[in-house]
Amino acid sequence: MILVYDIGTSLIKGALFDRDAALIDHFEVPVTLLENEDPLIHEQDPEAWINAIKEINKRIINSLHGNIDGVVISGNGPTLLPAGVDGKPLTPAISWMDSRCSAESDIIKEITGSYIDSTFYLPKAYWLFKHRPDVYEKTKYFFSCPEYINFLLTGNAFTILPGSNFLKYFWSDDILNGLGLDPGRFPGFIKPGSMVGKVTGKGMSLFGLKAGIPVIAGGPDFVMSILGTGTVSPGRACDRAGTSEGINLCSERMITDSRLLSFGHIIEGYYNISGIISTTGKALEWFKNITGREKLDYNRIFEDISGIPAGSGKLIFLPYLAGERAPIWDDNARGGFIGLTVNHGLNEMTHAILESVGYAIRHVIEVMEENGVSMQELRITGSPARSPLWNQIKANITGKRIMVPLLTDSELLGDFCLALYGLGEYDNLA
């Protein structure tokens, strides 16, 4: 049996698979960001991650018939958490949505000569160094969310680097030294699929898992979704939908357009061309909550707006609720409705939010195709993929064929694949 988790911004998910990839059990726990009046600051309580995983374990272990052979954890990022010598958090985790670090990213750009967005890991650590020296001095290690849970399970501190050309989005000793940061506070790199360690007695006490279970390195949620949706040949693209949206295209060549991110692919020899859109599912959640529909099921909302025609009555929404990443990269971008009249109501406004996500995806795809790469299809994953209405809106606006996997939480299937690879059952991920 393989046990996997994914730490999302609004949901933490867990699943148990048998060795033949049959899904035995699946459970998810909602989590929230901490409230803050500053629109640039977005933080999360890491205790929420721990408590959610404990809750998942209580549910899933009841379904267990046999031993757990391995554990893999993936999660959102770049989210940064400073932990003290006792392994406890020193502050709330600074979310990937957080954009308070523009001044710090500008300084890093001057040193490296490369574009570093304020939401990346290093600007956050540098911000703590400059503005919270009390926290920085007490920091034993800086972690992202999957690595922190790995550390609590095994006692081993590592940073998961998905590939060598991801280094510019993380750090190097030279850059850290140039900023006056101590490289010893940044755990060494390992690749996805590497052995992190085994569950210790402390890990067993905290999470309720047996000591000695191997823990294999997962990685960022979008990388696991690429693997879990089979986005492993040129022309295939994965739309990793959730609180944010990541459009990831498998390509035979790298693109140097600064409006996009170009990574090594988890399959060697290919590249992942990526455009990350900041607040897509978050925009719908925000509007649902501020209009007094917190307890209303999303399916009911989709049913209510199913009769609204394309164009939402000439109403447009801009989904820039926490700035925007690809392709405009503007921390100061702000959202809003355009064209609002007395003839518009709640349903038209909700429909316009769904359409805004389609247009944001189309904007990213157009930039990709301007660079000479082609996209055959969009493999959609994440909770929004469960909505046929939203999938159809995306298909209509982008003009792309939409494919929905049987398991829409495809990052969990990607975690499973990495577990088998890490346990030596396969010698490659292709």
What per-residue confidence (pLDDT) applies to 303?
98
Q: In angstroms, rounded to a whole number, what is the distance separating the alpha carbons of residues 286 and 280?
A: 10
Q: Given this model, what pLDDT does residue 65 score?
A: 73
The whole-number pLDDT of residue 114 equals 84
Alpha-carbon span 335 to 350, nearest angstrom: 14
Block residue for tokens 């300084």? 107
Core vs surface per residue 206-218: b (16+ CB within 10 A) or e = bbebeeebbbbbb
90, amino acid identity: L
The CA-atom distances, in angstroms, between 348 and each of 26, 233, 316, 333, 382 are: 34, 38, 10, 23, 24
The continuous run of DSSP H or E covering 367 comes out as: helix 346-370
Residue ranges of domains in the chain? 2-223+412-422, 230-404
CA distance 240 to 260: 16
What contacts 4, CB < 8 A, 6 or more positions away? Answer: 14, 15, 16, 17, 71, 72, 73, 74, 218, 412, 415, 416, 419
- Indicate if the alpha-carbon torsion angle 324, 330, 335, 337 is positive or negative: negative
Contact 71, 215 (CB under 8 A): yes
Q: Starting at the edge strand that comes first in sequence, how are the strands of the sheet with 236-241 ordered? A: 261-264, 271-277, 245-251, 236-241, 377-381, 401-403
Structure tokens at 203: 């890990």
**3-class SS at 103?**
helix
Q: How far apart are CA 366 and CA 374, in angstroms?
A: 10
Q: What is the pLDDT of residue 387?
A: 98
What is the pairing mode between strands 236-241 and 377-381? parallel
How many CB atoms are closer than 10 A to CB 380? 28
- CATH superfamily of the domain spanning 2-223+412-422: ATPase, nucleotide binding domain (3.30.420.40)
CATH number of the domain at 230-404, please?
A: 3.30.420.40
- The CA distance from 46 to 286, in Å, is 22
Q: How far apart are CA 174 and CA 191, in angstroms?
A: 21
Contact criterion met (CB below 8 Å) for 313 and 348? yes
Amino acid at 281: G
pLDDT score recorded for residue 64? 80
To which H or E segment does residue 127 belong?
helix 121-131
- Average pLDDT per block of 10 residues along the chain, 430 residues long: 97 96 96 96 98 96 84 97 98 97 96 90 98 99 98 99 87 95 98 98 97 97 96 96 96 95 92 97 98 97 98 98 96 97 98 99 98 96 97 98 96 98 92
Among 273, 317, 249, 245, residue whose Cα is nearest residue 96:
245
pLDDT number for residue 63: 74
Confidence (pTM): 0.93
Phi and psi (nearest 5°) for 381?
Answer: -135, 165
Between strands 2-7 and 245-251, the pairing is unpaired
pLDDT (0 to 100) of residue 115? 82
DSSP classification of residue 125: H
Structure tokens given for 228 = 């879990």
171, 27 Cβ separation under 8 angstroms: no
How many CB atoms sit inside 10 A of residue 305's CB? 18
